[in-house]
Structure 1
Amino acid sequence: MNMKALTSAVAIALSCSPFANAQEEEVNADQFQQIKDSQPVVLDPEFQVEDGLIFSGYARYGLHYSDDLEKYVQAEGELAGRAVGRLGNESNGGEFQFAKAFESENGAIWDVVVMLENWWKYESELESGEEISEYGDIALKKFYAGATNVFASQPNAYIWAGRDFHQRPQQGLNDYFWMTHDGQGGGIYNLELGSAAKLDFSVVGQVDGPGDNGNYAFTSKLHSIGLTNSIDMSVLFNYGFESDQYDENGDKTNDDKLTAYQVAAVFDQNWSMGRNQLIMRYADNTDTSTFNKVEDLTTLYMSLEGGVNFSEQVALEYLGAYHNYDAKSSEEDRTNYSAIVRPMYNWNATHSTWLEAGYSVVDYDTGGKNTAWKVTLSQNVVVNAFGNARPMLRFYATAGQADNEVRSNEAIAAKQDTLALGAMFESWW
């Protein structure tokens, strides 16, 4: 793997498309899996160090005009991303990264990486438990160092420490990070357990300024488990815990401190015309992150996402998801069902047309349902439509409706009819 391949891999890893294809042949299957999962691109001993900095990133910015007070279409109570689809329904922002690689005399390969981010967050994202100080802040998202080929018995193992994206597997059509533990700490990737599997594990702390706030998570992933020639499996387990520092009042005993855990299984199937991914995740005292703990909460998330390439010109992406939220409080208990389809047509190497349709239902245990639907037509200009490359210019129209029988407050509209027009660029590099 050379510097050019790493640049492509890091850049694509920052993107949000589930079918973003690495444009360099040097990117191998393991690295492409990291790209699909929005994970750090881990160096290996074959990496060829060259002089200079690697500048990479992901960004989308543009105009989004809506005739409704609510600019984006969603049902009240959704917790699994953009449940009616993200196309023509997503906000602005970007991530900008610089990396430098080094090689020691004994053959160890090192990298140092720093990233800044700038995202506009809207209310549904804040309700998910993510802590931000203001809309649109510029924040230090990454600053870490790592090394590979440092253990003779485990040359492919990569050790790291610092602040990083961490265990944030993402789905594309609903823009949902079904796990997320961005923080600072350290760990190891690609610890080989014979020829059957690889193990990742780390301990990370939740960021609080330049330090952490005493809220910690142990994360692990057993991956590269080949069930058949076309199906791979991964198993993930995370455990969240607190120190005395996280107890602001200083009155918790060890028995009072909250803990949380997640366990998940992922099945990836690849075939001649596309791929499928099945996700099953159970969580206790939490939902997407063991940093964000809620006593007596259990959640279950299952989804099937995939795509079919019928020809070089015609493709279809799809996603179906189930999200159950059992808070042991009748007012909060609910189940979210959603389905999204996105047929795509490439007119030539420059122009393509996408149509995305989505439907979401939030069914409350106490009675009442919130529903939403959205349809977006997007005309795109891209550097290489056949390769799903970027940059891309999108000119889109979105129509949608939300009917909210159950509302958390009166400021949320009972009925929302939205027509939006937009022009946006999206790019990774």
Structure 2
Amino acid sequence: MYHLRKLPVAVAVAASLVSFSSFSETESNNSAQIEELTKRIQELETKVQETDYIYDQQPAVLTPDFEPPQGLIFSGYARYGMHYSDSDSAYIDVGSSGRSVGRLGNEANGGEIQFAYAKKADNGAVWDIVAMFDQWGNRAWGSEGGVNLKKMYAGVTNVFESQPELYMWAGRDFHQRPQQGLNDYFWMSHDGQGGGFNNLNLGGVKLDMGIVGQVDSETGALGNDNGKYALTSKLHGIDLGIGALDLYANYGFASKQADVSVQDNNSWQLGATLGLGASNKFVFKYADNSDNSAFDLNDDLKVIYASLEGGISPTDAFKVDYLASFKQLNGEDTSDRNEYSVIARPMYQWDDVHSTWLEAGYAMEDHDDNTEKKGWKVTLSQNVSLGGLPWSRPMLRFYVTAGDVKATDVEKVDTLAAGAMFEAWW
């Protein structure tokens, strides 16, 4: 992450030099002041490093010990590049759980640019004001094209002495969007405008709650409420010894401003994530009248989703990430089916710059009417990145992707593509 901080740091250092010169009367004083100046510069650098917003496409929640830097905080996520394909289809798409055959070499362009300003009040309260603009041009990401205002909110923490970690917010924000990596899937997502709180301490366990309205997306993410609302909650910080347990419960409803077809509908969701050791996680969701969002208000739809994901490291240089998932959908207005997905991504790090990844995935839709849809994908990617870890970014990625999709009584659709893309979060 890069802060717009060079000028404030330079001013601080210059002020230190002026202070130093006015007191340098003797050689011993010189040595003492040089040592003090070095210490002050190190403290400034440490302070700047510790005030990073960690941008991972999740809501940003301030903590009481956050020390606001001078100026704006610039953060974001983006991936852009060429994806050339002269075959039947440029991408491989099966099922409804994101990129179920794997996202590597199988994802579209787009990005999110965020600016934040934070301030600590004299009473210790820490405030932030955040704006984000995105450009995806992809309906799956809530955008029909162009640049949209994705965030505009204010928040504050350390207001109540008995609840110093409680963070309150109001406005338009990312909201409750647990994400999986290999399939790029938000198995719950309630981005919208409203308000709520995070980290209400209930004796060691923490509670998040919010109420949000879905943004009218007919003109991208530029509209007002469309009449669909969600009451969301998350209980987290439950330590079971083998890992942390997080619990989700959400309720969706509509006002008379919503489309007539959903005004009398409601929905609810229950979900859980359980850590299994240091690098594995189990996910479960049950949804009634909805799938990924309580905003769906899809009457009679019932969804069960379960997955196991994680990674292993046979050596320091060789790592393998994996994800296996199952999804069941039933309802009058949907095709009753079971969906299966398996993805594996072996990664070898040659040094702290170069790496080679191979991602293979298989997915299938098994419909109750005895029809099937199945697909596979393999991507070989040569990468150049800043750092020696799989998640080090920015990354330049040069890849080749092959795969196909076959549905019952439908001609097979082949994919062969090559691309060059950068990906970064900061």
TM-score clears 0.5:
yes
In the other structure, the counterpart of 1:375 is 378
Q: Which amino acid aligns with 1:414?
A: E
Q: Which amino acid aligns with 1:93?
A: G
Q: Which amino acid aligns with 2:183?
A: N
Task: Please tell me whether the aligned partners of residues 88 and 414 of structure 2 are also in contact (alpha carbons under 8 angstroms).
Answer: no
Cα deviation code 1:282-339 (max 9, x no counterpart) = 000010001111111100000001011222200000000001110135x611111000
In the other structure, the counterpart of 1:150 is 159
Pairwise CA distance, 1:210: 4.4
Say whether 1:40 aligns with 2:59: yes
Pairwise CA distance, 1:49: 1.9
Q: 1:118 aligns with which of 124, 129, 135?
A: 135
Say whether 1:422 aligns with 2:419: yes
Matches within 5 A, 1:284-303: 284-303=288-307
Q: 1:257 aligns with which of 239, 264, 268?
A: 264
Q: 1:166 aligns with which of 130, 150, 175?
A: 175
Cα deviation code 1:183-226 (max 9, x no counterpart) = 0000000000012x100000000113442122100000000100
The answer to which of 307-316 and 82-91 deviates more is 307-316
In the other structure, the counterpart of 1:33 is none
Cα deviation code 1:361-383 (max 9, x no counterpart) = 10001111111000000000111
The CA distance in 1 between the partners of 2:296 and 2:63, in whole Å, is 33
Pairwise CA distance, 1:50: 2.3
Say whether 1:99 aligns with 2:113: no
The CA distance in 2 between the partners of 1:110 and 1:220, in whole Å, is 23
Query: Secondary structure of 2:277's match?
Result: strand
In the other structure, the counterpart of 1:216 is 229
The CA distance in 2 between the partners of 1:259 and 1:387, in whole Å, is 41
In the other structure, the counterpart of 2:49 is 4
Say whether 1:268 aligns with 2:260: no
Query: Secondary structure of 1:291's match?
Result: helix
The CA distance in 2 between the partners of 1:96 and 1:3, in whole Å, is 20
In the other structure, the counterpart of 2:7 is none
In the other structure, the counterpart of 1:181 is 190
**% identical equivalent positions:** 51
Q: 2:200 aligns with which of 175, 186, 191?
A: 191
Say whether 1:385 aligns with 2:392: no
Say whether 1:231 aligns with 2:243: yes
Task: Please tell me whether the aligned partners of residues 51 and 69 of structure 2 are also in contact (alpha carbons under 8 angstroms).
Answer: no
* Bigger Rg, which one: 2
The CA distance in 1 between the partners of 2:390 and 2:80, in whole Å, is 22
Call closer, same or farther: CA 1:6–1:323 in 2, change over 3 Å. farther
Q: 1:240 aligns with which of 252, 273, 277?
A: 252
The CA distance in 2 between the partners of 1:374 and 1:8, in whole Å, is 35
Pairwise CA distance, 1:112: 0.3
The CA distance in 2 between the partners of 1:110 and 1:246, in whole Å, is 34
State the structure with bigger RCO (CA 8 A, min sep 6), 1 or 2: 1
Cα deviation code 1:206-261 (max 9, x no counterpart) = 11344212210000000010011x41101100000011111458xx8xxx610000
The CA distance in 1 between the partners of 2:355 and 2:53, in whole Å, is 23
Task: Please tell me whether the aligned partners of residues 382 and 390 of structure 1 are also in contact (alpha carbons under 8 angstroms).
Answer: yes
Query: Tell me, which stretches of 5 or more residues in structure 1 are unaligned?
Result: 15-38, 407-412
Task: Please tell me whether the aligned partners of residues 91 and 120 of structure 1 are also in contact (alpha carbons under 8 angstroms).
Answer: no
CA RMSD in angstroms comes to 1.7
The CA distance in 2 between the partners of 1:169 and 1:131, in whole Å, is 16
Cα deviation code 1:258-277 (max 9, x no counterpart) = 00000011101333xxx111
Q: 2:341 aligns with which of 338, 342, 346?
A: 338
Number of residue-to-residue matches in the alignment: 376
Say whether 1:313 aligns with 2:322: no
The CA distance in 2 between the partners of 1:367 and 1:138, in whole Å, is 43
The CA distance in 2 between the partners of 1:137 and 1:248, in whole Å, is 29
The CA distance in 1 between the partners of 2:292 and 2:420, in whole Å, is 31
Query: Secondary structure of 1:68's match?
Result: coil
Q: TM-score, normalised by structure 2?
A: 0.85
Cα deviation code 1:357-411 (max 9, x no counterpart) = 00001000111111100000000011113363111000000010110127xxxxx
Q: Which amino acid aligns with 2:169?
A: W
Cα deviation code 1:70-97 (max 9, x no counterpart) = 210123xx11000100000000000000
In the other structure, the counterpart of 2:219 is none
Q: Which amino acid aligns with 2:423?
A: E
Task: Please tell me whether the aligned partners of residues 7 and 56 of structure 1 are also in contact (alpha carbons under 8 angstroms).
Answer: no
In the other structure, the counterpart of 2:102 is 85
The CA distance in 1 between the partners of 2:160 and 2:225, in whole Å, is 29
Cα deviation code 1:21-55 (max 9, x no counterpart) = xxxxxxxxxxxxxxxxxx31211111112211000
Q: TM-score, normalised by structure 1?
A: 0.84
The CA distance in 2 between the partners of 1:361 and 1:2, in whole Å, is 50
The CA distance in 2 between the partners of 1:2 and 1:238, in whole Å, is 38
In the other structure, the counterpart of 1:139 is 148
The CA distance in 2 between the partners of 1:72 and 1:120, in whole Å, is 16
Q: Which amino acid aligns with 1:212?
A: D
The structure carrying a bigger helix percent of its residues is 2
Task: Please tell me whether the aligned partners of residues 291 and 302 of structure 2 are also in contact (alpha carbons under 8 angstroms).
Answer: yes
Task: Please tell me whether the aligned partners of residues 49 and 103 of structure 1 are also in contact (alpha carbons under 8 angstroms).
Answer: yes
Query: Tell me, which stretches of 5 or more residues in structure 2 are unaligned?
Result: 1-45, 217-221
The CA distance in 2 between the partners of 1:163 and 1:5, in whole Å, is 26
Q: Which amino acid aligns with 2:293?
A: S
Pairwise CA distance, 1:152: 1.2
In the other structure, the counterpart of 1:66 is 85
